[in-house]
Each structure stands twice: as structure tokens, then as C-alpha cells.
Structure 1
Amino acid sequence: MSRTLPHVGARSRWPTVPRHTAFWLVALAFAVTMLGTTLPTPLYVLYQHRLGFSTLMSTVIFAAYAVGVLTALVLFGRVSDVVGRRRTLLPGLACAALSGLVFLGADDLPLLITGRVLSGLSAGIFTGTATATLVDLADEDAGERATLVATVANMGGLGAGPLLSGMLAQLAPAPLRLPFEVHLGMLALVTAGIWLIPEPVKTIGRPRLRITRPRLPERVRATFLRASIAGFAGFAVLGLFTAVAPSFLGRLLHLSDPALSGAVVCTVFAASAIGQITLVRPLGRAAQPVGCGLLIAGMALLIAGLAAESLVLLLCAAVTAGLGQGVSFRAGLAAINAEAPAGQRAEVASAFFIVLYVAISVPVVGVGVAADVVGLRAAGIGFALAVALLAASALVAVRRSRGER
């Protein structure tokens, strides 16, 4: 079925850029917004030293991000279909800017948590809308390319955030201010770009805030469960590296450089993007089991790295687990989309992302609790074992489903 491009470049009260230019402006804004969501990662250790909070509280601050994302998903998931893409992207950028302003003045825990919630709102509003906008603005036969660009912008931005803030904190003055000032400047530029894009969809009415309760059709439930188990394991790994990797490096390996912390976190997201882009299609039906296997191997490397206090093993774990997360996530989402009824595909995908964002937050809070009780090393090893078991159960379920066909 051909995809229509409703009134791109239609009459407007302000000048707009050509569709091709608008496509790349949206991709850039997507990357800059996602960059902001991981910008504080290498700075958590500095905030800990300044404010004196524990590893548990560090994970709670990180998990506040998921609260914002989930709130946006259940309240604003379909708003861009009603008011238009552009009018939804701009508030997402506004939330990102408000988050940066809060972090600039953050001198206590409530402000840090508020900044993270606002950052989550920006990601929750922006991710689905920006992806849909890229598809809308692409040429009729370039939908797959638009999805690829969305993946690169999303994961590239997530990986660039900690790398940028870590380098600025390491090499420049004002480590708790300069990264956010730089990001606010970037947001100002991309906001001007989004203001100039043509609206690619027709608005159909006034939006109403309402809680979205996704329903799963009977025929997709088994596939959804298998994909969700693997996806939960993979996104829990992303949450662990993003929230706790700086503590691992500082307290266990005695490497407290923010630039190094940012580089380690960047490695996970870069590996995820590479896995999604380069491995899923060649692997075909083997993608899900291979992704689960890579997650298991990555957790084995993480356990070895924590036990041996080895930076090399920790980096190997980041690469391997990141590849596994990327492959298992994209293969699982593709399997769900293939089986979901066309009229409920967005609803089923929303349910999948709700599972994933619970995974990125709740387990790392558990690591924080365990770290205060049994120590950071034991908590990390226990987490890795739990993720490996989840990935193994997903692997068994996928193989069993293949044997029954």
C-alpha cells in the first residue's frame, strides 16, 4: 500500500524550508534532544561529591527520567496525529530546554529529579513524533531509509551525550554548568530549524489528554512475551551502564575521569546502533537468538570485569552487550510489528516501549539498593546474572517457538 504525503509544504503563515532540508533538520533535532537525556551521566559522581548522596539515590535520579518518558507515552502518544508533528516537536524541545535550565541551577536532589523528569518528557514526546515526521517527510519509496536515519539519530544522540559532557567536564571549567549551556545553545539552533519545517500531516481536531491503555491482541501475545523478555534484559543493561558505570569506574577501578565514564557509556549506545543497523538484516530469523546470546556473553564479560577490576573487560562487556541489546531489540520489534494487526500496530508498539522503559529504570534502582547492602561489586555481579538468566529464558522461548512451527 502506498504511503501518502499529506500537504507537505502547504500554505502557512511563516516561510518553510524544502522537504529534503526539513528531513535533515528533524533528524538533527532528534539527535540533539536525545543527547540531552544522557548528558548528566558522567556528572553523577560529581553531584554525589557535591551533595553527598548515595549510589541508591544516584539510580533514583536516573530512574526519574523513565517516569517522564512513561508519562509522555501514556498522555501524549497520539497527540501529533491530532495537532500535527511540528506543534508536538516544539513542546518536546521546550521540555529539553527546561531540563537544561533546571540542571544549571541544580543544587539539591529535588531539582536534579525535576530535571530528569523534564528530560524524560522531552524524550517521550519527541521519539515517536520525530520518527513519524522523518517517515512523513521522506520520499514515498524511502521509508526504510527514514527509519534508519531515525535509529542513527536516536542512538547516536544517546551515545554522544555522555561523551560530550564527559569531555567538557574533564577539559573545561565549570563541569556542572558548561555541558548544559552548550546543549541549550544547540537546542536554540535546532528549535529555529523545527520552526521552519512544513507540517506534513493534516490536523484532525483538538487534543485531549487521556491515559492510553494498550491492549494486546491474542495472536501477538506469545511473540510479544518473547520479545519483551529479551527487550527487558537489553534495556536493563542500557540503564545499568548509563546510571552506574561512572560509579563502577570510580569506586572499583579507581578511574574517576568524567571523559572516560562518558566514553564507556557512549560505547554501549554505539554498539547498539551498529547492531541494529548492520546485523539484524543479515541474520534474518537468527537475529533474536543471536541477540540473546550476545547479551549473555556481555554479562559474562561484565562479571569477569567487575571481579578482576579490569577496564578492558568492562569495555568488552559494553561492546558485546550493546550489540546484543541492539539486535534483540530491533528483531523483537520487527517480529511484533509483523504479527500485530495493522489497526493496532501503534498500540502494540506502545505497550512494548512501556515494558522497555520500565526495564531501563526499575532494575537499576534495585542495583542501588543492593549496593548499599552488599556493596557495588556484588550488586553489579548479581544484576549481570539476573540479566543473563532473562536473556537465556528468552533464547529458550524463541528456539521452542521455532521448533513448534
Structure 2
Amino acid sequence: MTDRRRSGYLGAAAAFAVCMAGTTLPTPLYGLYQEQIGFSELMVTVVFAVYAFGVIGVLLLVGNVSDAVGRRPVLLCGLGCAAAAAVAFLAEHGLPLLFAGRFLSGLSAGLFTGTATAYVLELAPPDRKARAGFVATAANMGGLGCGPLLSGLLAEYAPHPLTLPYLVHLVLLAASFAVLRALPETVPGARPLRTARPRRPSLPPQVRGVFVPAGLAAFAGFSLLGVFTSVSPAFLAEDVDVHNHAAVGAIVCLAFFASTAGQLLVPRLGAARAIPLGCLVLIAGLGLLALSLATGTLAPLVLAALVGGTGQGMGLRGAVDRLADAAPADQRGGVLSALFVVAYFGISVPVIGIGLLADPLGLTHAGLVFTAAMAVLAAASGLYLLRRRSA
């Protein structure tokens, strides 16, 4: 096996991380956009949800197209959408371009999420398959965490806070394009991209029993991340009096990095055990988030990012590992895309609910309603999995 193939999965993971970082770049900047354009907290959640619905739309329509046309063409298209999103943010003069940027970010994430996960797993040599599962999910979560950290630091300590982050991202996207162009294709007999036809993700019979618990865990975990990436900056500013963009970005980043750390625990626990345990840890994180909301204090919020992110990471990697093992090789991209459809419903629908409740109840009470609902869902998921294992 060539050195290029042996190290190729790391290059694919790096491109994966760069693409996902672009989707969270705006998180610490929402307050600046509100000052510049003037819109409500509900509109922040709607702008955020436009991204998630872009992801879901791509996953539903072409989530398994890479199984037919190959991984590389789909990922290169994803980088193109990410670059177009950065350009839209650079040209932003009001809500329309803000919506366009977020939607294009969603398209890029939708094209990358399932396809890049499958690509990293397939590029890895046999002796690194176990590590590749962690590398793929860590690239996803780590990239999402690096986005707000990068933009927060640049917004606080560098000039042009609403343009410089996107210029930096464009440079990273260009480097990622060069890396992907140099990597080999992993789909035998891949057809030309122009022959692609929209197809919904499908679930082969052998994965259906695994998919329900994996999807429930992914939904609950991503809902917590949705709160951290959409409304936590407003909560930090209004209730905790934290206005430093770098601090906001670091706290959001912490949740994603904790997710990456949680994934490291899965090989020791086993994927089947990691999912219900991840739900339990996630419930603890939601409890800490509720405590922070109720008391208006910073320390429980930081702990919520650490604990809740860890639980989310355990559940996500356990879900990805179980589904990747159960899925036939020629349908792996579609199966993983279907998982992330469920996950991104979790990152969008509850966030919109918070936005709708924020006006009549206030942001704090809307967040408490959210944490209670998600704790119930995570508990139901964990109990379902435990009962299924004992049956």
C-alpha cells in the first residue's frame, strides 16, 4: 500500500474539519450581526435553522449519491458550496445574504457529513480501521468546534471581525481542495457526476434494528449542540454579562472538543454500551445547563459544555461505529447520511422552539423548557437501549 493511501485518510479528515469549521464560524458573530442589521432572538434561531434545513435537504435528496458517483466529486462540490457561503458572508448587507450564507453552509455540511465519514473509513488501511472511526467523527466535531474559536479570536483581537474569519476560511478551503484532488477514489466503478440522480437515503434490512437507537441518541445529542451554537451567545451576553467574543467562541468550542474526547471512550466501552451511557452523561449535561439558566452563572454552563459534549460524543461515535459495521459497503454513505438527517433535525427543531418561546417566556425560561424536553428524550433513548440489550 502506498504512503499516499496510508496517510490519505488523515488528509480527508483535515478537509472534513475545514468544511465543518465554516458552518460554525458565525456563532460568536451573531451579536454583531444583530447590531448591524437589527433582528430579534427568534430571527437568530431561524437563521441558524436555515443551515440545518440545508443539511437535511441535501441528505434527503442526494445523501447516498456518493455510493454511485464516488466520494471525491461529492466532497469537491461540498467545498465549492462552502466557498460560496464564505463569499455570501463577505458580501453581507442584510438578512437575505445572511440566509444565503447559512443555507450554502448547510449544503456544504450535507454533502460532507455522511460522504466524508465513509471516505475516511474507506481510505484507512486495515491496521488503522479502528482509529479511522475516531478520526472521522473527531474531524466532524473538532471542525465544528474550531469554527467559533477561530472567529471569536479574530473578532475580539483582529480588525474587520465580520470579514477576516471568512477570508481565512477561504484560504483553508483552497488548501483542502488541493488535498482532496490528490487523494484516490474509493468507490469501485464510480459513474460520472452528471449521471447522479436524487435518491433518498435508504436503510438496508440489516441496519434497521440498529438505526432506531442510534438515531435517537444522535437527535438528543445534537439538540444540545444546537443550543450552544445558536442561543448561548445571547444568554452569555444578557444573563451572564460575558461580551468577549473570544470567550463565547471558546465556550462553544469546549462543547465540541468535549464531544471529541467522549469519542475516545467508545473503544473501551464498546459501541453498544457507549450509546446508553452517552445518554446518561448527556442528561447530566442538560441538568447543568438548566442550573446555569436558572441561576445566571457561568461555571455550570462551562461544565454543561464539558459533560454534555462528552455524552454527545459517546453517543455519536457509538452510533456511527455500529451503523458503519452493519451497513453493506455499497450503501454505507447512504446509511450514514440517514443518521445525520435525524441528527440535524435535532440541531434545528428544538432551537426553533426556543426562539418561538423566547418572546413570551424569555430566553431563560425557554431554555429550561428545552432542557426538560431533551432530558426526557435522552432518558427514553437510554431506557429503550437498555431494555433492548436485556431482551
Report the TM-score, using the length of structure 2 for normalisation. Answer: 0.92
Aligned to 1:350: 337
Aligned to 1:34: 20
Aligned to 2:354: 367
Contact 2:114-2:333 at 8 Å conserved across structures? no
C-alpha deviation, 1:343, in angstroms: 6.9
CA separation in 2, counterparts of 1:400 and 1:374? 37
Q: Which moved more, 1:340-349 or 1:203-212?
A: 340-349
Aligned to 1:383: 370
1:262 maps onto 2:249 in alignment: yes
Q: Which has the larger radius of gyration?
A: 1
Aligned to 1:318: 305
C-alpha deviation, 1:251, in angstroms: 1.0
1:298 maps onto 2:288 in alignment: no
Aligned positions of 1:227-246 closer than 5 A: 227-246=214-233
Aligned to 2:236: 249
Change (3 A) 1:55 1:224: same
CA separation in 1, counterparts of 2:130 and 2:95? 42
Unaligned runs of 5+ in 1: 9-16
Contact 1:19-1:137 at 8 Å conserved across structures? yes
1:286 maps onto 2:258 in alignment: no
Structure with the larger helix share: 2
Aligned to 1:13: none
SS in 1 for 2:126: coil
CA separation in 1, counterparts of 2:296 and 2:340? 34
CA separation in 1, counterparts of 2:328 and 2:178? 38
> Percent identical across equivalent pairs?
50
CA separation in 2, counterparts of 1:196 and 1:221? 36
Amino acid at match of 2:200: T
Q: Which moved more, 1:259-268 or 1:322-331?
A: 322-331
Change (3 A) 1:89 1:341: closer
**1:271 paired residue among 251, 254, 258:** 258
C-alpha deviation, 1:112, in angstroms: 0.8
Q: How big is each residue's C-alpha offset from its partner over 1:145-164, in whole Å with a ceiling of 9 and x where there is no partner?
A: 22222222221111110000
Amino acid at match of 2:196: R
Contact 1:155-1:272 at 8 Å conserved across structures? yes
C-alpha deviation, 1:220, in angstroms: 5.2
Q: How big is each residue's C-alpha offset from its partner over 1:64-88, in whole Å with a ceiling of 9 and x where there is no partner?
A: 1112212221233233333333322
1:214 maps onto 2:202 in alignment: yes
CA separation in 1, counterparts of 2:263 and 2:238? 32
**1:109 paired residue among 88, 95, 100:** 95
Q: How big is each residue's C-alpha offset from its partner over 1:129-177, in whole Å with a ceiling of 9 and x where there is no partner?
A: 3233333332233222222222222211111100000000000111111
Aligned to 1:11: none
Q: Which moved more, 1:241-250 or 1:181-190?
A: 181-190
Contact 2:25-2:165 at 8 Å conserved across structures? yes
Contact 2:72-2:181 at 8 Å conserved across structures? yes
Q: Which moved more, 1:52-61 or 1:122-131?
A: 122-131
CA RMSD of aligned residues (A): 2.2
CA separation in 2, counterparts of 1:215 and 1:201? 19
Contact 2:279-2:381 at 8 Å conserved across structures? yes
Contact 1:214-1:350 at 8 Å conserved across structures? no
Change (3 A) 1:143 1:235: same
